[in-house]
Amino acid sequence: MCNMRDQYGKVFGLNFASTNSLVVGDLAMLQEILISRFSAFPNHPKIPVEEKPMDSAINNLRDNHWRVVRNTLSPAFSSKKMKQMNPLIKDCCDQLLQNVEEQRSKGTVLQFKSLYGSYSMDVIASTFFGLKVNSQKNPNDPFVKNAKKCFEGSFFSIRLLAVFLLPWLGPVFDLLDIGIFDKEVKVFFHSVTSKVVKARQNGEGRLDMLQLMLNAHKTELEGEKGKQDDDEDDEDEMVTLNDETAPSIQKQPFTIDAIMANSMMFFLAGYETTNACLCFSSYLLATHPEMQERLIEEVDKFCPSEESVCYEVFSKMEYLDAFVRESLRIYPPVATADRRCDNTTTVNNYKIGKGTNIMIPIYAIHHDPDVWDNPEEFRPERFSKENLPNIHPAAWLPFGVGPRKCLGLRLALMEIKFALIRMLQKYRFETCEETEIPPVLSKKTGFICPPNGIKLQVKPRKC
């Protein structure tokens, strides 16, 4: 996309998979599309397959249906809920540190793609499904096996690619009941979800996302009061229902299918992205030792013990925040986002026709020298408290921006910061012969990840 920007400019048309697309890398125009004129661009382009029950996952929903589900799920990602997740994430970090120490003490070079991959999976199993799996140690656990299959068989699926490139295949796939997701995987997750939901209905309590979705379900049925009580400190903006002509589906509760579809969707949206960010952040620490020292100082000041690591302390750790933001700028795990124009409209003198797909080149914007001074240089100070107000609202887009931005943003940052702090309390990251400098990047299928992983060594801070 960077090459195309240099060749065609910041806004250009593209005919991709027989659909008109407009690539928009101009910040003022993006601010209009994603924020100010959101009502004309509220949806993603439609994938031409009716995949049950995945069509009830939030990213596939449209218009009023999406707004209602987003408003119902948002409270599950509030700051208050994140604080309640502290003990679950702490357990997963304990496991990560144990796995790191086992491999380090054997003198092996550490493959962080696999270590953080297991950590991300443990967090998802624990925070969404209420399961404790330790996926590093138990690769044959049915959850781990199916979860891996589910990932391999979804975004990277040849079926998904075929549907995107040959949209007319969608109805044919529907007719033949060929899904994007493996059938066995869907059956497995359906049975896990049903079992957990049943156990909860029988009074077995546990604090995780599934429980929060069940509570959201109850809130939907019981009205607004419970919602307010539960989320008094939720600073998330709710998506307002501007569209008064749209039929109200406010009363629709979450079915087991919808809970399962959303849990699977959260897993797909959060697994590889969080893993990639942790891998790149660790690589950047190892290759910028002076920054690593500065971060260690901050960690020692605010988190002197394992117990002191918690969501509440992150807001005080300004350098950690700047470091992670800069890491997500230089290596955004999601390279492009999209929208569909639903009402013909004019934005900054471009007439955009109904049905046009808008492509948002996140990676190219993050590496645009007109937007970022010397963009290839890793410089966390760009995100210092003083500099933050000077950053354009559409310049930093790892999670998107506007009402349809990433729903899991808070959870992702919490998971990432938790693991980095716990690692730095104990170790320093260092490069070794096996470290690829710079790392090879795979940009296939819209994700940026290190296909060969990130190999580093760690040195204990205190022997």
Binding annotation for heme: 406
Query: Residue numbers of the site for ligand HEM (CB under 6 A)?
Result: 58-59, 70, 265-266, 269-270, 273-274, 277, 333-334, 337, 398-400, 404-408, 411-412
Taking the complex as a whole, the smallest distance from the CB of residue 227 to ligand HEM amounts, in Å, to: 18
Taking the complex as a whole, the smallest distance from the CB of residue 107 to ligand HEM amounts, in Å, to: 31
Closer residue to ligand HEM, CB minimum distance, 294 or 405: 405
Q: In this structure, which amino acid lies at residue 291?
A: M
Closer residue to ligand HEM, CB minimum distance, 24 or 103: 24
Closer residue to ligand HEM, CB minimum distance, 45 or 103: 45
Q: What contacts 24+ positions apart, CB below 8 Å, involve 441-447?
A: 441/331, 443/335, 443/363, 444/156, 445/155, 445/156, 445/161, 446/155, 446/334, 446/335, 446/336, 447/155, 447/272, 447/273, 447/276, 447/333, 447/334, 447/335
Of 159, 139, 137, the closest CA to residue 148 belongs to 139
Taking the complex as a whole, the smallest distance from the CB of residue 408 to ligand HEM amounts, in Å, to: 2
Strand-strand pairing, 110-111 and 427-430: unpaired
Please name the residues in contact with 455: beta carbons below 8 A apart, sequence gap of 6 or more.
Answer: 109, 110, 111, 112, 432, 434, 435, 436
Closer residue to ligand HEM, CB minimum distance, 274 or 435: 274
Taking the complex as a whole, the smallest distance from the CB of residue 130 to ligand HEM amounts, in Å, to: 15
Of 324, 460, 422, the closest CA to residue 86 belongs to 422
CA atoms of 129 and 217, how far apart (whole Å): 16
Taking the complex as a whole, the smallest distance from the CB of residue 404 to ligand HEM amounts, in Å, to: 5
Strand-pair partners of 351: 346
Residue ranges of the annotated binding site are 406
Taking the complex as a whole, the smallest distance from the CB of residue 58 to ligand HEM amounts, in Å, to: 5
Q: What is the DSSP string of 293-350?
A: HHHHHHHHHH--SGGG-SHHHHTT-HHHHHHHHHHHHHS-SB--EEEE--S-EEETTE
Cβ–Cβ under 8 Å, residues 110 and 429 = no
DSSP state of 250: T
Closer residue to ligand HEM, CB minimum distance, 160 or 457: 160
Closer residue to ligand HEM, CB minimum distance, 118 or 457: 118
Of 24, 66, 7, the closest CA to residue 352 belongs to 24
Closer residue to ligand HEM, CB minimum distance, 74 or 457: 74
CA atoms of 456 and 116, how far apart (whole Å): 13
Taking the complex as a whole, the smallest distance from the CB of residue 201 to ligand HEM amounts, in Å, to: 23
